[in-house]
Structure 1
Amino acid sequence: MSQVSVKTKNRLSSRIQDIKPSGIRRFFDLASSMDNIISLGVGEPDFTTPWNIREASISSMERGFTAYSANAGVLELRQEITKYMDQRFEVDYNPETEVLVTVGASEAIDIGCRAILDPGDEVIIVEPGFVSYAPLVSMAGGVPVSVGTKIEDDFKVSAEQIRAVLTEKTKALMISFPNNPTGAVMLKEDLQEIATLAEEHDLIVFSDEIYAELSYDHKHVSFAALDGMKERTILISGFSKAFAMTGWRLGFVMAPPDLLAAMLKLHQYSLMCAPTMAQYGALEALKSGMDDVERMTQSYKQRRGFFVESFAEMGLACHMPGGAFYAFPSIKATGLSSEEFAEKLLYEEHVAVVPGDIFGAGGEGHIRCSYATSMENLQEATKRMNRFVSKYL
């Protein structure tokens, strides 16, 4: 039987064709094909989800809680989320109209963009930042506009930088602190200047606070807790990072009722609801998991100190991350680009890191290194990296 030729013209939307695949995945794929690799590239805790959380999920299945939940999520979980966020970060939301349980924080960002953006609307994205922000804006028909931050400013963004790129088409601002990949944090006074700007220009603010619990030196300040900001904030968080629940794919979004209702429609038609069993695990995490969060956070803080000190000893400038579990050292002194450094390090010393340019403006000349791995791995990885760097300095 002869094969029929299939024409490929116009099979894919131009919008999707213009989006590049994740640069992080390329390095993961390379590393997975090699032996004796120490990976500092994975953005997830090295801890197993605490047993009481796993047990609660297993128990929910044993009790027959295997049907769909409400589209917005199990009400008891939404109630516990609002209680938790109020107690920890002083934000007050209605669990019935202002909270939606999502399939990871990434879904929350996606449906948030699709809920508010019309074609051509601009979204200012603070970079270096999470690799999904700009593609999700583009896939929603919006136009991402980057604002780069620098190591000299501790990777903080100022209201003046944001003001410089505002246009009549600007509809929203995307911020994330503690930041992935830099570990940067913003204090209340830093955020207040941005809040004033957002009010002046009627901006909706996406505040991705997935690393809120992993703040080492200062208590996390939620953007929605600032005066007048709850009504213009789409607050995004989840269970992946602080509770070591990455594979559970469970996040949540909190927003004013009109925005939340629009996101709920998208969620209903695309995903129906988050996995029921995972929701019962998350409920247990919020009720009794804070001791485990504290234990893991203290472990990351110890590793952070070792890691940053090791980069200084190599001769690489490295900002002290105030949160998350990443270091973002500058490798400019080596004369290599971010991608060259990462590839050579992988092939020559079998250490996997992520090139900084993947994370957008300001990322070139840096690499992202996760310290969410054992101290033994960190010690061996920095030993190998020191040997590699010494050839270029």
Structure 2
Amino acid sequence: MKHKYIAKRYWKDATTPMGQSDVLAKQYSDVIDLSLGDPDLVTDDIIIENALKDAKQGHTKYTDFRGDIELRNEIRKYYREEYQLELEDKEVMVVTSGCLGMYLALEAIIDDGDEVIIHQPCFTPYMQQIELARGVPVILDTYEHEDFQISINRLEQLITERTKAIIINSPNNPTGICFTKETLEKVAAIAKQYDLVVIADDIYGLYSFEEPFIPISTLEEMKERTITINSFSKDFTMTGWRIGNVLAPAYIIKTMQQINENVVFTAPSISQRGAIYALRHRKEIQPRMLEEYKKRVFYAADWINKISNMSVLKPRGTFYLFANIKKTGLSSAEAANRILHEAHVLTLPGTAFGNCGEGYIRLACTCTTDKLREAFERISKMDIFRD
């Protein structure tokens, strides 16, 4: 919005399809919302009841600046047990959401004009987060015919003397792919060759369907040059709790802590208590979640591949599907708009995730299979999806 009291850097309208989804969802009383990745399941009672108990016992004050020490120890224990990754306490920080963790990481490492490479299609906020930190986003396109894996040759061609970091996200939002170990190893080799930082957005680690999830920080000589962003939002259906964590070398964590003291001071104490119980009881909580979302995403993929002029790759991770609608002859925005107004199903156009998302729509399988069936029955009756 252009106004004399608004900073000029915000005069250009930066509204995104993701940001508009709440308004669009209210256009029809019977909209089936497949737009946002906000899981429909309620946070497990184990987490809620124990956090409530702790709140009543006095855990309602500021915590340590890097997070509740009990939670930091649980995070270290989790990475040791699951990935055989040893972390020192000074390498762990609790943050108010993965999104804030990403911003703090970028703010900590970027000088004005430094370049950060992002593979697209990607999570929408990355671009503006880099720019907020006065950096320059550099786009690396990925493609369906390459299984949306990172092309190492194209990656290397983008590196300049100003390149500071590479952001990777696997399992990936929006494509639902998982990077192979070979891809991760090649990215790691590039990072070491050019002395770059890797910022790994690992918030969908639970949802890796074919192979066990591999944090890039566990590869040889990568811990010291990786900033890992994690969150309890998706792996524990705790989106509204706004709680996450960052793993990084101690000097980066210290800098992030100093920045965060001027932003939110500390993460919410009650949410941190909930995160403690999430990690302690993950083997009771997560299998049910994983089974449910995996069932939904494969069910939806089967539907998509039966509909004319629509297709999708085999699901490999997350609860998102990036459906190809190029055969309709419509742009992503046109297709998403018609699906909303004709079928009353809300999706996101692929271009919300970068220019190479043109020809796709993203669907979040965050509703029941009954709702998914109804959504696809409506879509399949549309003219653009019939022979």
User: What is the TM-score when the length of structure 2 is the normalising length?
Assistant: 0.97
Find the partner of 2:231 among 227, 238, 256: 238
The answer to whether residue 244 in structure 2 is matched with residue 251 in structure 1 is yes
Per-residue CA deviation, residues 116-158 of structure 1 (Å, 9 max, x unaligned), is: 1111100000110100101000011000011111111111112
Any idea what SS the aligned residue of 2:50 has? helix
Q: Deviations over 1:351-391 (max 9, x none)?
A: 00000001013211100001121011011011111112555
Structure 1, residues 205-237: CA drift from partner, whole Å, max 9, x if none?
110000001111110000100101111111000
Percent identity at matched positions? 36
Aligned to 1:364: 358
* Equivalent residue, structure 2, for 1:85: 79
Q: Which residue of 2 aligns with 1:32?
A: 26
Kept after mapping to 2: 8 A contact 1:19/1:135? no
The within-5 A match list for 1:1-393 is 8-9=3-4, 11-18=5-12, 20-95=14-89, 97-315=90-308, 316-388=310-382, 390=384, 393=387
Conserved 8 A contact 2:298-2:315: no
CA distance in 2, matches of 1:143, 1:391: 39
What are structure 2's unaligned runs of at least 5 residues? none
Letter in 2 for 1:353: T
Residue identity in the other structure for 1:170: T
Is this contact kept in 2: 1:147–1:361, CA < 8 A?
Answer: no
CA distance in 2, matches of 1:14, 1:207: 31
What CA deviation, in whole Å up to 9, does each residue of 1:311-337 have, x standing for no partner? 111031211221110000100000111
Structure 1 residue 14, shift from structure 2 partner: 3.3
SS in structure 1 opposite 2:356?
coil
In the TM superposition, what is the alpha-carbon distance from 1:242 to its structure 2 partner? 1.1
Contact 1:327–1:369, Cα closer than 8 Å, also in 2:
yes
Task: Give per-residue Cα distances to partners, 1:242-293, cap 9 Å, x unaligned.
Answer: 1010000001000001111111111111111010011111100100132221
CA contact (8 A) 1:318 1:327 kept: yes
Task: Give the Å deviation of 1:40.
Answer: 0.7
AA aligned opposite 2:367: T
Q: Provide TM-score, normalisation by structure 1.
A: 0.95
Shift of 1:184: 0.8
Q: Cα–Cα, structure 1 residues 271 and 290, in superposed 2: closer, same or farther, change >3 Å? A: same
The one-letter code of the counterpart of 1:108 is G
**RMSD of aligned C-alpha atoms?**
1.4
Contact 1:124 1:147 in 2 (8 A): yes
Residue 24 of structure 1, CA deviation:
0.9
Q: Residues 313 and 279 of structure 1: is their aligned pair in 2 closer, same or farther, counting only changes over 3 Å?
A: same
Shift of the 55–162 alpha-carbon distance from structure 1 to 2, 3 Å rule, reads same
Question: Could you tell me whether the CA contact under 8 Å between 1:16 and 1:139 is conserved in 2?
Answer: no
Distance 1:18 1:173 in 2: 26
Residues of 2 paired with 1:306 and 1:389: CA distance? 23
Asked whether the 8 Å contact 1:314–1:390 carries over to 2, the reply is no
Q: After TM superposition, give the deviation of residue 20 of structure 1 in Å.
A: 1.0
Question: CA offsets, 1:179-203, max 9 Å, x none?
Answer: 0000110121210011000001111
